[in-house]
Amino acid sequence: MATNRLKLSRAQLAAFLKDPESIRQFERLFAVADEDVSSITILVEEASTAALSAMAAAVQALDALNAIRDDLEFVALSPPVPESGAPTDATYVVLSANTALTQERVLTAGANITLTDGGPGGALTIAASGGGSSAVSAWVNFNGTGVVSIRDSFNVTSITDNGIADYTVNFTAALTADYSWSVSSGDASPGNAFAITAPAVSAPTTTAFRLKIYDVALGVTDMPYVSAQFYS
């Protein structure tokens, strides 16, 4: 029921309204006005609540935008970090100079050296090739007595014992044709004289070289120290 906002009794209304019907009409008029005022008040209150909620949401959105702005400013002002996380001022060996590094060393191939880059995830292959008469393409130091054994060598895979003081040097990688050589031998005893036939029995090939050793006094004899160098 609507509230009587007039706060007037019928006796008071009768003072200026002359008949009961006029009084009833007057009361109805203000009753309708009272209901409309109540509805408008409710609508105003609901609109005010909605406006406050919208304002709170707007404040939250503004705070979020300010936080994003601060993050973007931090990223823009921060120095770039390498993706790998590795320090840029450490010492690295690289195949080519890199502007992101400050202490790198560039690996380059010297004389008679070849570098083959297999690319990302591949292998870097370093190969050495013959360098003319000044480069030793193969050498060996071996004991030729008993079971022949190699003390040390380069580009020599094995020594074949063909018999007394008869040896074949087998190369790991083939030499070029018409290479040169030098051979020496001894038994660490004073006064002994030795002769070497090199090549012996057969002509040298790009994969093997045969030699024989003679003791001047004793004839063919095994030697404890035999050394051979080959230049390709």
Q: What is the pLDDT of residue 226?
A: 92
Cα distances (angstroms) measured from residue 169 to each of 56, 177, 186, 212: 93, 16, 17, 11
Segments of the chain with pLDDT less than 70 = 1-10, 12-18, 23, 26-27, 29-44, 46-48, 50-51, 74-86, 88-89, 111-112, 128-134, 190-194, 217-218
State how far the Cα of 131 lies from the Cα of 81, in Å rounded to an integer.
Answer: 45
State how far the Cα of 196 lies from the Cα of 215, in Å rounded to an integer.
Answer: 9
- pTM exceeds 0.85 for this model: no
pLDDT by residue (tens digit) across 146-181?
A: 999 999 999 999 999 999 889 999 999 999 888 999
Q: What is the pLDDT of residue 37?
A: 56
May I ask the CATH architecture of the domain 133-231?
Sandwich (2.60)
Structure tokens at 41: 């008040």
Structure tokens at 9: 């009794």
Using alpha carbons only, give the angle 145, 147, 149 rounded to the nearest 5 degrees: 85
**What secondary structure letter does DSSP report for 134?**
G
Element (H, E) at 166: strand 166-171
Q: Which of 88, 114, 115, 116 is nearest to 102 (CA)?
A: 88
Structure tokens at 113: 């050296």
State how far the Cα of 190 lies from the Cα of 103, in Å rounded to an integer.
Answer: 58
Beta bridge partners of 184: 227
Residues 140 and 227 sit within 8 Å (Cβ to Cβ): yes
Beta carbons within 8 Å of 217's beta carbon, 6+ residues apart: 192, 193
Q: What is the pLDDT of residue 123?
A: 81
Q: What is the pLDDT of residue 48?
A: 67
Q: Which of 162, 177, 180 is nearest to 228 (CA)?
A: 180
